[in-house]
Amino acid sequence: MTASATFGLFILTAIAEIVGCYLPWLWLKKSAPGWVLLPAAASLFLFAWLLTLHPTAAGRVYAAYGGVYVSVALVWLWLIDGVRPHAWDFLGVSVILLGMGIIMFAPRSG
């Protein structure tokens, strides 16, 4: 799998997880109707399934995915919640993505 395909899959995975958690949050905090829990459950199922599509060890996938999740969460903060991230947020995401790249794409022997 190419680096761009891996990164794209991580982004889809993060969106599925965030939607799966955001909808119950809306139900609990903002009085959204109970039916929002059904697409939330489907989204969390999709999230778990997407994680299985990576061709590397599960622990490495989970570790690297965390970096992409943080990045997508900040984009969500900006686009959905209407809160512009601070410069320190962008610096933190840069560091996290560097770590994610090292975890996923560093050369390994056997």
Neighbour-count burial of 32, counting CB atoms closer than 10 A to its CB (0-12 exposed, 13-18 middle, 19+ buried) = middle
What are the extents of the domains in the chain? 3-105
Question: Model-level pTM?
Answer: 0.85
Residues 49-100 have pLDDT tens digits of 998 898 777 888 888 888 889 999 999 999 999 999 999 999 999 999 898 8
User: How many residues in total does the chain contain?
Assistant: 110
Q: For residue 83, what is the enclosing H or E element?
A: none
Q: Mind listing the pLDDT tens digit for each residue in 7-62?
A: 899 899 999 999 999 999 999 999 999 999 999 999 999 999 998 898 777 888 88
Structure tokens at 6: 């891996």
